[in-house]
C-alpha cells in the first residue's frame, strides 16, 4: 500500500488574519470575508460552472505554518490538549481538529458569497473562514444540506457553541477607531467583526492573566485588549505600517 499521497495546491486564501492568534477555532463562528485565488490551470472559469447555485462550500486546506518537525512520523502526536477543555485534558488527536495531525490537512465549511469571473478566470469571495492569510487550498466541494447537515449528531466535548464574552472599547480605543474610520483605513463592519472575534476569547486556554495586554492583528490594524471577569476591554487600536502587511 502506498504510504504517501501528493496533492496539488489549487489556490491560496487571502484573509485578514496575518497571524494565528485571533483566528476563530472553528469556521462560521464569525462571518469574516476572504478571497480564494486559484492557481493555473485550476482558475479556469469553466471549472466553476454551477458552483454559484450552492450557498456553502467545503474547503480542504493545509496547515502550512506548522513547525517543520511537528509532522515527522517519528514525532506523531497521539494526544493533544483541546483549548475547549481548558488546555489541560488530553484526548486522542483523531478526536480533535488539532492542527498537529499526520496529513496536515484541515476542513472548513464556509459561505460562498460570489464567484468572481474575469477574462475566463475565476476566484471566490467567501465568508466565515477560519484561515490564515496565504493558506493553501487543496480542493473545494459544494456543501449538500440534505446529507452534510445532521441535526441529531453528537459532537463530543464540543456539543454546544462556545460562551461569548462582553466586549467594550475604552475612550482611547474608540477615539482611535473613529480616527481610522475618518481616514478610510478602517470601517464599522471591521470593528463589528473584531468585536465578534474578541467575544470568542482568542487567548490560549492556559492563560488567564487579567493584567496582561494582548494584541490581535486584523487586516491593517492591531487591537490591544485585556480580559477580566468575562469581559474584554479594548485598550487601543493601532494602524500597522504597510511594510508589515
Q: What is the pLDDT of residues 118-173, one digit of tens each?
A: 999 999 999 999 999 999 999 999 999 999 999 999 988 788 888 899 999 999 99
Cα distances (Å, whole numbers) of residue 122 to 48, 116, 190, 192: 7, 5, 26, 29
Q: Is the pLDDT of residue 245 over 60?
A: no
143 and 172 belong to one structural domain:
no
C-alpha cell at 54: 450552492
Could you please report the per-residue DSSP string of 73-108? Answer: GGG--SEE--GGGTTTS-EEGGGS--S-STT-EEEE
Question: Mean pLDDT, to the nearest integer, of 86-114?
Answer: 89
Residue 74: per-residue pLDDT: 55
Residue 78 lies in a domain: no
Distance CA 117, CA 111 (A): 18
pLDDT, tens only, 41-75:
999 999 999 999 999 999 999 998 876 544 445 57
Same domain, 186 and 111: no
CATH code for the domain of 27: 2.40.30.70
Whether residue 51 is found in the same domain as residue 134: yes
Angle of helix 188-199 relative to helix 171-182, nearest 10 degrees, comes to: 140
Q: Are 138 and 214 within one domain? A: no
CATH number at residue 233: 3.30.2310.20
Amino acid 235: pLDDT: 97
Secondary structure E strands in the chain: 11-14, 33-38, 56-62, 79-80, 91-92, 105-118, 121-127, 136-142, 166-169, 214-218, 221-228, 231-239
For the segment 200-237, what is each residue's pLDDT rounded down to a tens digit?
999 987 788 889 999 999 999 999 999 999 899 999 99
The answer to whether residue 176 scores a pLDDT higher than 80 is yes
Average pLDDT over residues 171-197: 96
pLDDT of residue 96: 86
**Taking a C-beta distance cutoff of 8 angstroms, is the pair 62, 135 a contact?**
yes
Looking at the structure of the chain, the number of domains it has is: 2
pLDDT at 145: 95
Domain for residue 179, yes or no?
Answer: yes
- Cis ω before 41 (30° cut-off from 0): yes
> Are 129 and 205 contained in the same domain?
no
Query: What average pLDDT does the segment 81-106 reach?
Result: 84
Residue 31, domain extent: 11-66+104-148
Specify the higher pLDDT residue, 196 or 64: 196
Same domain, residue pair 123 and 206: no
**Do 189 and 111 lie in a common domain?**
no
Amino acid at each position: 500500500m502506498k504510504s504517501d499521497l501528493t496533492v496539488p495546491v489549487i489556490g491560496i486564501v487571502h484573509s485578514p488574519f496575518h497571524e494565528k492568534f485571533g483566528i476563530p477555532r472553528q469556521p462560521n463562528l464569525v462571518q469574516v470575508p476572504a478571497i480564494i485565488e486559484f492557481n493555473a490551470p485550476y482558475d479556469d472559469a469553466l471549472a466553476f460552472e454551477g458552483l454559484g447555485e450552492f450557498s456553502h462550500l467545503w474547503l480542504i486546506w493545509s496547515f502550512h505554518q506548522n513547525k517543520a518537525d511537528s509532522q515527522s512520523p517519528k514525532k506523531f502526536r497521539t494526544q493533544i490538549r483541546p483549548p475547549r477543555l481548558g488546555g489541560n485534558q488530553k484526548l486522542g488527536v483523531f478526536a480533535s481538529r488539532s492542527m498537529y495531525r499526520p496529513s496536515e490537512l484541515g476542513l472548513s465549511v464556509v459561505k460562498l458569497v460570489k464567484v468572481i469571473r474575469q477574462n475566463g478566470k475565476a476566484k471566490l469571495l467567501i465568508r466565515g473562514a477560519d484561515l490564515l492569510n496565504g493558506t493553501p487550498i487543496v480542493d473545494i466541494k459544494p456543501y449538500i444540506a440534505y446529507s452534510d447537515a445532521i441535526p441529531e449528531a453528537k459532537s463530543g466535548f464540543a456539543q454546544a457553541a462556545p460562551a461569548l464574552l462582553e466586549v467594550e472599547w475604552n475612550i482611547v480605543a474608540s477615539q482611535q477607531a473613529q480616527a481610522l474610520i475618518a481616514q478610510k483605513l478602517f470601517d464599522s463592519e471591521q470593528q463589528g467583526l473584531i468585536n465578534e472575534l474578541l467575544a470568542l476569547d482568542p487567548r490560549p486556554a492556559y492563560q488567564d492573566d487579567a493584567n496582561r495586554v494582548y494584541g490581535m492583528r486584523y487586516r491593517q490594524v492591531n487591537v490591544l485588549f485585556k480580559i477580566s471577569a468575562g469581559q474584554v476591554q479594548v485598550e487601543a487600536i493601532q494602524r500597522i505600517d504597510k511594510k508589515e502587511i
